Amino acid sequence: MKQGECIGVFDSGYGGLTILKEIIQVLPQYDYIYLGDNARAPYGSRSFEAVYHYTGEAVRKLFEMGCRLVILACNTASAKALRTIQQVDLPLIDPHKRVLGVIRPSVEALADYSKNGHIGILATRGTVASGSYPIEIEKLFGMEKFHITQLACPMWVPLVENNELSGEGTEYFVRKYLDELFLMDPLLDTIVLACTHYPLLRPLIGQMIPGYVRIIGQGHIVADSLKDYLLRHPEMEICLSKGRNVSYYTTDKAEIFEQTGGVFMGERIKCRHVQIC
Residue in 6, 7, 10, 12 binding ligand DGL, rule: CB under 6 A: 12
Least separation in angstroms between residue 33's CB and ligand DGL is 18
Is the Cβ of residue 242 or residue 253 nearer to ligand DGL in the bound state? Answer: 253
Please give the Cα distance from 105 to 102 (Å, whole number).
6
Count residues near ligand DGL (CB under 6 A): 17
The one-letter code for the residue type at 108 is E
Is the Cβ of residue 41 or residue 119 nearer to ligand DGL in the bound state? Answer: 41
Q: Point out the catalytic residue in the list 195, 239, 271, 277.
A: 195
| Count of CB atoms situated within 10 Å of the CB of 19 | 28
Give Cα 57 distance to the centre of its chain.
Answer: 17
Strands lying side by side in the sheet with 271-273 = 98-100, 67-72, 6-11, 32-36, 246-250, 271-273
Residue in 17, 122, 153, 157 binding ligand DGL, rule: CB under 6 A: 157
Q: Which stretch binds ligand DGL (CB under 6 A): 40-48, 82-90, 162-170, 238-246?
A: 40-48
Do the beta carbons of residue 5 and residue 216 sit within 8 Å?
Answer: no
Residue in 38, 55, 76, 241 binding ligand DGL, rule: CB under 6 A: 76
Is the Cβ of residue 121 or residue 195 nearer to ligand DGL in the bound state? Answer: 195
Q: Point out the catalytic residue in the list 74, 239, 271, 277.
A: 74
Residue 204 sits in the site that holds ligand DGL (CB under 6 A): no
| Cis amide linkage into residue 203, ω under 30° from 0 | no
Q: At 272, phi and psi to the nearest 5?
A: -125, 150
Q: Which stretch binds ligand DGL (CB under 6 A): 36-44, 166-174, 175-183, 225-233?
A: 36-44
Q: Supply the DSSP symbol for 91.
A: H
Is 239 known to be catalytic?
no
Residue 18 sits in the site that holds ligand DGL (CB under 6 A): no
Q: Is the dihedral of CA 213, 116, 118, 140 positive or negative?
A: positive
Is 6 known to be catalytic?
no
Q: Which stretch binds ligand DGL (CB under 6 A): 12-20, 88-96, 182-190, 200-208?
A: 12-20
Q: Which helix (H) or strand (E) holds 35?
A: strand 32-36
Residue 70 sits in the site that holds ligand DGL (CB under 6 A): no
DSSP 3-state of 193: strand
Q: Which stretch binds ligand DGL (CB under 6 A): 8-16, 201-209, 226-234, 263-271?
A: 8-16
Strands lying side by side in the sheet with 214-216 = 147-152, 118-123, 190-193, 214-216
Interface with ligand DGL (CB under 6 A): 11-13, 15, 41-44, 74-76, 124, 127, 157, 195-197
